[in-house]
Amino acid sequence: MSYGYRAAFVTLGTYLSRGWNTIEKIIAKWAPPTESNTLAYIASVERWSGVPRKKILTAADSAEYIMIVAAMSFVENGVNADINQVKAGFTLQTKIKVQ
């Protein structure tokens, strides 16, 4: 599981480098309207992560990214993510800094 979460963090690190630095921008790219109910996805990730959808994220926002990936996992799988596995996935990547 941790390597799956690592892949998500690497993807989000790439998004960050391209200016997709808010939940709205991340989810619009991750789950575009042609494939998903993007607005509902954004609302769910905002609610479950506790991160405002328009907050501009930086590479130093590790805690927020961890909560965002956990929330995205819930949306994708319908079950709560094991936060320890999410954190383990975070430590396996290098694109987003540990705060």
Domain-wise residue ranges, the chain:
2-91
Residue 85 scores a pLDDT above 90: yes
Using pLDDT thresholds of 50, 70 and 90, give the confidence band for residue 80: very high
71-75: which pairs have CB atoms within 8 A and are 24 or more residues apart? 71/44, 71/45, 71/47, 72/8, 72/27, 72/30, 72/45, 73/5, 73/8, 74/44, 74/48, 75/41, 75/44, 75/45, 75/48
Percent of the chain whose predicted confidence (pLDDT) is above 90 = 96
pLDDT value at position 98? 73
Residue 18 scores a pLDDT above 90: yes
Q: Is the whole model's pTM more than 0.85, yes or no?
A: yes
Amino acid at 34: T
